[in-house]
Amino acid sequence: MTETPCDQATVEAVLDAIRPSIKADGGDVELVGITDQGVVQVRLLGACIGCPSSHMTLRDGLAANLVGKVPGVTAVEAIEDA
């Protein structure tokens, strides 16, 4: 079965729609990339770094919206700086 490639512009548009809520709490999100398997890789920024609620932001905000609104997105994962 061939996976539908994710449209980066659509992913960015969904992130832009979510971003004001994240920024209201002092954080932000940056698109790092999209894998061939449809996994959207993001970097959490600002107050999201080290926040105990960041896993909920990732799961309930980012993943729920991206998987639900962008065809081909299978998951969202946070990438941390090495």
Domain boundaries, the chain: 8-78
Which pLDDT score, from 0 to 100, does residue 1 have?
A: 40
Spans in the chain with pLDDT lower than 70: 1-5, 81-82
Which pLDDT score, from 0 to 100, does residue 4 have?
A: 57
Which pLDDT score, from 0 to 100, does residue 82 have?
A: 53
Which pLDDT score, from 0 to 100, does residue 2 have?
A: 45
Specify whether the backbone of 69 is left (phi greater than 0), alpha (psi in -120 to 50) or beta: alpha
Q: Does domain 8-78 have CATH number 3.50.50.100?
A: no
Is 41 buried (19+), middle (13-18) or exposed (0-12) by CB count in 10 A?
middle
